[in-house]
């Protein structure tokens, strides 16, 4: 028997309410839009990894700008000495020029008093005797020759003084330009550091804790890599001792000399642990990275240049596997950071603003960050 039950209307139930079929599509669209909205991020805040990379990049840029600042500062000091020397030279020459001018004036006065400009007859009339005339003529001849010499000296000194004045003027202009570069580099450092501080200040306490956890994992990985390098170096040293007969050689003497100097540099740098990083600082209370390595090797009697991209050329490049305590380890493509290798994959360095001189793995920023190793003496 056919059922007399009415068929169920096409549609859906929402919260117990039957909806007409025509509304179904609209409700489906609303649901999809709601899902899309829920899937989208609540805001445009970067991930912690992105924040960490941004801050690290800012610190690196600040350190690179610090090297530019150090170079400009050193150049400014050198140019200021050159300018002072030139100005002193100009002052001496001007005084000498004034003396030559006075000498010419005295000759002119002498000519006027003795009548050197008069004719021979007039001069003879002024003489009491022929002998007096002869003496006066001889005197005038000598005065004339001396006067010519004085004029030549005056002209020569005047030309030299003008040249020195031009050199001093050009040096002053160069000094002014270098001081402008120094000011620009200083402003760049300050801007990068301010940006880094602002970025970190925007993090919540929870985000800062997570960021610290990320940093800890990086340090653990860096320590692991350092331990691996230490094992490799120890194995290589042992193999070299087993295959090489003990003998005195020039190479051995050189290694011994380097080890002695390196020990002094290492003793110095260990004594600086805990002192703050300050950009542009060379000690004794604070350091930047190249200021620390420069001071360490100076304690060993070796003069290194001030900035990293000059220090990297102040010695012999060696492989990382052959690195010895005292070697300089440089980082990044722009060679903007340096540390002093102490062995076993570790170094002592002045890391960055806000940090302190410390011992750390050379892999602190990953293996790819290592640029080169240089033996400075």
| Phi and psi at residue 217, to the nearest 5° | -65, -40
CA 117 to CA 290: how far, in whole Å? 73
The span from the CA of 351 to the CA of 371, in Å, is 16
Is 371 catalytic? The answer is no
Give the span between the Cα atoms of 341 and 324, in whole angstroms.
Answer: 7
Which helix (H) or strand (E) is 33 found in, with range? helix 21-39
Catalytically annotated residue among 73, 192, 349, 352: 349
- Give strand ranges (E) for the chain: 13-14, 17-18, 316-318, 328-331, 337-343, 346-349, 358-361, 370-375
CA 102, CA 115: separation in Å to the nearest integer? 20
- Please list, residue by residue across 271-294, b when 16 or more beta carbons sit within 10 angstroms of its beta carbon and e when fewer do: ebeebebbbbbbbeebbbbbbbbb
338: left (phi over 0), alpha (psi -120 to 50) or beta: beta
The closest alpha carbon to 101, from 45, 51, 153, belongs to: 153
Return the number of other C-beta atoms located less than 10 Å from residue 33's C-beta: 10
Of 93, 275, 337, 375, the active-site residue reads 337
Is the CB of residue 300 less than 8 Å from the CB of residue 262? yes
* 75 is an active site residue: no
Catalytic annotation on 289?
yes
How many angstroms separate the CA atoms of 113 and 136, rounded? 12
The CA distance from 200 to 207, in Å, is 10
Which of helix, strand or coil describes residue 358?
strand
What is the Rg, in whole angstroms, of the alpha carbon atoms belonging to the chain?
Answer: 41
CA distance 344 to 325: 9
Catalytic residue among 185, 226, 229, 289: 289
Name the residues annotated as catalytic.
Answer: 289, 337, 349
């Amino acid at each position: 028997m056919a059922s007399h039950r009415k068929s169920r209307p096409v549609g859906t139930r929402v919260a117990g309410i039957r909806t007409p079929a025509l509304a179904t599509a609209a409700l489906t669209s609303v649901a999809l839009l709601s899902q899309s909205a829920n899937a989208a991020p609540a805001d445009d805040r970067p991930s912690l990894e992105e924040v960490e990379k941004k801050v690290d990049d800012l610190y690196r840029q600040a350190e690179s700008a610090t090297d530019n600042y150090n170079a400009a500062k050193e150049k400014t000091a050198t140019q200021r000495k050159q300018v002072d020397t030139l100005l002193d030279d100009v002052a001496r020459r001007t005084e000498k020029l004034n003396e030559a001018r006075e000498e010419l004036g005295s000759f002119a006065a002498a000519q006027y008093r003795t009548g050197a400009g008069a004719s021979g007859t007039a001069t003879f009339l002024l003489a009491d005797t022929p002998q007096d005339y002869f003496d006066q003529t001889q005197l005038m001849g000598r005065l004339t020759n001396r006067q010519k010499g004085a004029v030549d000296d005056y002209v020569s000194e005047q030309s030299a003084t003008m040249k020195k004045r031009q050199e001093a003027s050009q040096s002053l202009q160069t000094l002014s330009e270098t001081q402008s570069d120094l000011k620009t580099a200083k402003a760049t450092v300050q801007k990068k550091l301010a940006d880094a501080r602002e970025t970190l200040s925007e993090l919540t306490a929870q985000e800062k804790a997570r960021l610290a956890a990320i940093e800890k994992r990086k340090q653990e990985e860096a320590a692991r890599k350092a331990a691996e390098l230490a094992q490799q170096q120890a194995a290589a040293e042992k193999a070299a001792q087993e295959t090489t007969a003990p003998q005195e050689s020039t190479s051995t003497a050189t290694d011994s000399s380097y080890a002695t100097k390196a020990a002094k540099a290492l003793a110095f740098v260990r004594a600086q642990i805990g002192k703050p990083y300050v950009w542009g600082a060379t000690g004794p209370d604070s350091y930047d990275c190249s200021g620390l390595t420069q001071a360490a090797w100076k304690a060993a009697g070796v003069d290194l240049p001030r900035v990293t991209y000059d220090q990297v050329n102040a010695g012999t490049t060696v492989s990382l596997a052959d690195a010895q305590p005292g070697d300089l380890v440089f980082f990044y493509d722009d060679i903007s950071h340096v540390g002093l290798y102490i062995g076993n994959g570790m170094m002592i360095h002045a890391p960055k603003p806000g940090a302190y001189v410390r011992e750390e793995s050379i892999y602190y920023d990953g293996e790819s960050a290592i640029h080169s190793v240089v033996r400075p003496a």
